[in-house]
A = this chain, B = another copy of it.
Amino acid sequence: MEQERIDTVQLSEQVKQLLESKNFREIQTLLDQLPAQDCAQVLENLPEKDMPPVFRLLSKENAAESFVEMPTDKQQLLISVFSDAEIKAVFDEMFVDDTVDVIEEMPANVVKRIIAQSDAETRAQINEILHYPKDSAGTIMTVEYVSLREQWTVKECFDRIRKTAPDKETIYVCYVTDDKRKLLGLVTVKDLLLHDYDTPVSEFMEHNVISAGTNDDKENVAQTISRYDLYALPVVDGENRIVGIITVDDVLDVINEEATEDMAKMAAITPSDVSYLNQSVWQIFKNRIPWLLLLMISATFTGLIINTYEATLNQLSTLLFACIPMLMDTGGNAGSQSSVTIVRSMALDELHPSDIGKVIWKELRVAVILALCLSAVCFGKLMLLDGLLFGYAYTWDICLVVSLALFATVLLSKLVGSIMPIVAKACKLDPAVVASPFITTIVDALSLIVYCQIALAILPAI
């Protein structure tokens, strides 16, 4: 695989040289044999001025497919130099769902130009898709599917498929509908191939069809397709009329995107659907600064807590300060272990807010064993490593205070870390945003208070 991956950087160099020597024919041959994804990459690597002339050399089909694969800024660049006829040529070749994807990222004046070049039917379809809520099944579906009638024979079905195949995103799963487009069942091409030419479809079609509603969240759709190993999922409106289908390849992108988004949120970043290298410094800054500011300011609490207890801690033992980072880090790590596990399980639909009881009971037991183990090691480490080896005056009672505080910190962070995402989900908030960094801040404050209180209770003033 790795060794077979096409080196697009080197290809771009080659295209640049061919362009200089005006060897257009060869550029054409070179690019039209590439998969559209790689062709788009080669075009992206070219200097801005070279990109449009090279794009114009592509075959109609390759041009449309490559266009879909390019980042928004390059698409805009191309549209800005395109004539209306060129826009029409490119968009006529595209599936409607791809057109909508392009349109959604474009400024209003560009959208107008694109819409103006499409025929009435396409325009109606575009408008319909554009009206579905953000991240819903409606926005990722394609309207180019094969529909059959239940009284048709296998032969009639094949005739229909043959006639419409070139314009359809998939022909392998066909949907049986009545004349009001109501979804009655599905038939695969495999089923059709395994039955005689004169068998009516109604005899062998699958009646229990799993479907999605137009407003369903695309993440749920993705997990349904993944759970049932489907090749395509029909999307129906409120009256069970089929309006489109979602194919598994679109869902691959959704699954990758959703995982990327969740990771970004858990790392305190506003998610972006632009890949890292394509984001400007300013965009990256904007996605990161609000969370850093918010979390920095909320860390004020930990500062206040330390200031409040400082005089007392200083009186008890100055060695207590040195253990604060360890306590805070361990609490943060223990908490994010739980929160990330829970957030991910909920994203994969393996865990639901109704399981909260099971989760608390499980996390509590895990937390007790972890806390016992960690505080025992911590006690030993302080006495032996810091005390004997490095020669700091860690007496047994100081070690006891730190270990007890560690025990409490681990318990607290595990509970906060597992409960908060579930509560967030139940309140229709995004569990991933609540996860990691927020929990760290809360756990920091809680564990500091516990630490100081335990110290006050156990240690005699110096």
Interface residues of A (CB under 8 A from B): 1-2, 4, 33, 35, 37, 137, 158, 161-162, 165-166, 171-172, 189-190, 193-194, 208, 210-213, 216-217, 220-221, 224-231, 248-249, 251-253, 255-256, 259-260, 262-264, 266-269, 275-277, 281, 284-285, 288-289, 291-293, 295-297, 299-300, 302-304, 306-307, 310-311, 314, 318-319, 321-326, 328-330, 332-334, 336-337, 339-342, 344-345, 348, 350-351, 355, 358, 362, 365-366, 369-370, 373-374, 377-378, 381, 385-386, 390, 392, 410, 436-437, 440-441, 444, 448
Contacts and interface: CB of A to CB of B under 8 A. Distances in A.
Given A189-B189, A328-B328, A35 B210 contact: yes
Contacts of A256: 226, 255, 259, 348
Given A329-B299, A330-B299, A333-B292, A284 B362 contact: yes
26 contacts: A2-B216, A162-B193, A171-B189, A171-B190, A172-B172, A226-B253, A252-B252, A255-B255, A255-B256, A255-B259, A256-B259, A264-B340, A264-B344, A268-B336, A276-B341, A285-B370, A288-B366, A292-B374, A295-B329, A303-B325, A303-B386, A304-B322, A306-B322, A314-B318, A325-B328, A329-B444
A161 to B, nearest CB: 6
Nearest to A248: B248
A260 B341 CA distance: 9
Contacts of A268: 333, 336-337
A213 B1 contact: yes
Interface centre among A303, A306, A326, A351 (most CB of B within 10 A): A303
B162 A194 contact: yes
B386 A292 contact: no
Contact of A158 (B193, B276, B291, B293): B193
B226 A345 contact: no
A377 B293 contact: yes
B285 A307 contact: no
A373 B291 CA distance: 12
Nearest to A303: B322
Nearest to A278: B350
Contact of A285 (B166, B318, B340, B366): B366
B267 A340 contact: yes
Nearest to A275: B350
Given A193-B158, A292-B330, A328-B325, A277 B351 contact: yes
A228 B35 contact: yes
Q: Which of A194, A210, A284, A436 has the most CB of B within 10 A?
A: A284
Q: Count this chain's copies in the assembly.
A: 2
A333 B284 CA distance: 15
A260 B348 contact: yes
A434 to B, nearest CB: 14
Nearest to A307: B322
A229 B216 contact: no
Nearest to A276: B345
Nearest to A341: B276
Contacts of A165: 190, 193-194
B325 A448 contact: yes
Among A212, A318, A342, A448, residue most surrounded by chain B Cβ atoms (within 10 Å): A318
Contacts of A267: 266, 333, 336-337, 339-341, 436
Contact of A329 (B37, B370, B392, B440): B440
Given A292-B330, A296-B378, A324-B325, 17 more contacts: A1-B224, A4-B211, A165-B194, A171-B190, A248-B248, A259-B259, A266-B340, A276-B341, A281-B366, A284-B362, A289-B370, A292-B333, A292-B370, A293-B374, A306-B325, A311-B318, A329-B441
Contacts of A208: 33, 35
A218 to B, nearest CB: 10
A138 to B, nearest CB: 12
